[in-house]
């Protein structure tokens, strides 16, 4: 399959991810190509991880679960493999100085070169408890500009509010592999679907806009006993019969943030992982789960909240900080916030 940019009139549907990224760079005459190169490297990592994910079931069937496989190689957990693939790929071109990963307690330095102007935050394999039951999993990433290139990178360099992200995206290993990315509100949110027969990502979802209001809610109902009274009231309200207001909403919950957020982004509605008695600070991680998704949802016309305000405005204090996370259509997230702030 070749680039099909001409087959759809003005639409760019069908162009490859590489061409899309390159055209973006050509629109910025001052661009050095560094940023373009990082996005290309991430799309290469997406292919590597896809090939590992697609064989995950076989690894078990063939009994490759011990410390070594038949080739005598160390068999890593898929989370570790995804982490290692991303670090290897991002480290190759000296553009990324360091990464903060869900898989690593500390940051990983990739180069001391002062010309490495970017930092990457990532959850290499989100939803890993779903691997064994063959349910969608994903990778989440965000790219930050390095503000002190003359100083060695430290964890404090990653503690920036999400508004400062230069780009964010995710890869979903679902019925197809899809990459969704954005460089912010002006550039839109775009999705690319992988064609395994030729090893390319093609633009399949151009300029994604989330519906203003949806009809689906996504929350782990098993946590109900631990919810605050405000969350309980909201959950009862969303299930209440009210035809004029489009309620009750249908429930959908995968338990992989990437999958629940992807569905919410395309179809509208709300995803909520609020704080509860067990996790008063929330469960999901601010830097590499909440912030990238908040950046994507806002760029698609949606909202991302911690219940009482904007995720992207939170000033992080810790690398692995947690946060409540509410994502979705603007009307649906606003209604949730109204329940949390005593307006309903």
**CA-CA-CA-CA dihedral for 190, 194, 195, 196, to nearest 10:** 170
- Residue with Cβ nearer ligand AFP (126 or 200): 126
The helix (run of H) or strand (run of E) holding residue 86 is helix 78-91
> What are the residues whose beta carbons fall under 8 Å from the beta carbon of 30, sequence distance 6 or more?
none
CB of 140 to ligand AFP, least distance (A): 9
Pick from 11, 68, 129, 176: which binds ligand AFP (CB under 6 A)? 129
CB of residue 326 to ligand AFP, shortest distance in Å: 12
Task: Specify whether the CB–CB gap between 202 and 16 falls below 8 A.
Answer: yes
Q: Which residue has the tokens 């949802």?
A: 297
Q: Is 255 in the site for ligand AFP (CB under 6 A)?
A: yes
Identity of the residue, 20 or 273, whose beta carbon is nearer to ligand AFP in the bound complex: 273
Q: Note whether 256 binds ligand AFP by CB under 6 A.
A: yes
Among residues 193, 204, 215, 220, the one that binds ligand AFP under rule CB under 6 A: 220
* Look-up of token digits 């639409």: 11
Residue 187 to residues 140, 172, 192, Cα–Cα distance (Å): 19, 21, 15
How many alpha carbons fall within 13 Å on the CB side of residue 17?
30
Q: Is 341 in the site for ligand AFP (CB under 6 A)?
A: no
- Whole-number minimum distance, CB 257 to ligand AFP, in Å? 3
Beta bridge partners of 327: 271, 304
How many residues of this chain interact with ligand AFP, rule: CB under 6 A?
13
Q: How far is the CB of 82 from ligand AFP (least distance, A)?
A: 11
For ligand AFP, the binding residues in 172-201 under the rule CB under 6 A are none
Q: Binding mask 266-295 vs ligand AFP (x if CB under 6 A, - otherwise)?
A: -------x---------xx-----------
DSSP 277-297: SS-TT-SEEIIIIIHHHHHHH
Binding interface with ligand AFP (CB under 6 A):
126-130, 220, 255-257, 260, 273, 283-284
């Amino acid at each position: 399959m070749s680039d099909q940019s001409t087959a759809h009139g003005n639409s760019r549907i069908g162009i490859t991810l590489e061409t899309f990224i390159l055209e973006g760079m050509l629109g910025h005459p001052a661009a050095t190509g560094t940023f373009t190169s990082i996005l290309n490297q991430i799309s290469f990592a997406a292919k590597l991880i896809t090939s590992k994910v697609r064989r995950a079931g076989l690894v078990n069937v063939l009994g490759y679960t011990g410390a070594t496989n038949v080739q005598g190689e160390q068999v890593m957990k898929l989370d570790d493999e995804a982490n290692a693939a991303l670090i290897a790929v991002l480290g190759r071109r000296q553009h990324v100085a360091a990464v903060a990963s869900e898989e690593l307690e500390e940051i990983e330095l990739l180069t001391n070169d002062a010309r490495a102007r970017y930092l990457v935050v990532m959850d290499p394999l989100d939803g890993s408890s779903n691997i064994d039951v063959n349910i969608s999993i994903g990778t989440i990433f965000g790219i930050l500009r390095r503000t002190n290139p003359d100083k060695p990178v430290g964890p404090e360099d990653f503690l920036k509010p999400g508004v400062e992200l230069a780009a964010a995206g995710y890869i979903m290993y679902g019925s197809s592999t899809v990459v969704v990315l954005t460089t912010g509100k002006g550039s839109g949110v775009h999705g690319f679907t992988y064609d395994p027969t030729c090893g390319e990502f093609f633009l399949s979802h151009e300029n994604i806009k989330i519906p203003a209001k949806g009809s689906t809610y996504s929350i782990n109902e098993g946590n109900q006993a631990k919810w605050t009274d405000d969350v309980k009231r909201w959950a009862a309200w969303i299930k209440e019969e009210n035809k004029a207001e489009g309620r009750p909403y249908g429930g959908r919950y995968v338990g992989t943030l990437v999958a629940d957020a992807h569905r919410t982004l395309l179809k509208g509605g709300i995803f909520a992982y609020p704080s509860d008695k067990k996790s008063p600070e929330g469960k999901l991680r601010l830097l590499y789960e909440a912030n990238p998704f908040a950046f994507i949802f806002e760029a698609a016309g949606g909202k991302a909240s911690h219940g009482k305000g904007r995720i992207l405005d939170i000033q992080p204090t810790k690398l692995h900080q947690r946060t409540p996370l509410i994502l979705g259509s603007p009307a649906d997230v606003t209604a949730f916030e109204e329940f949390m702030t005593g307006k309903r």
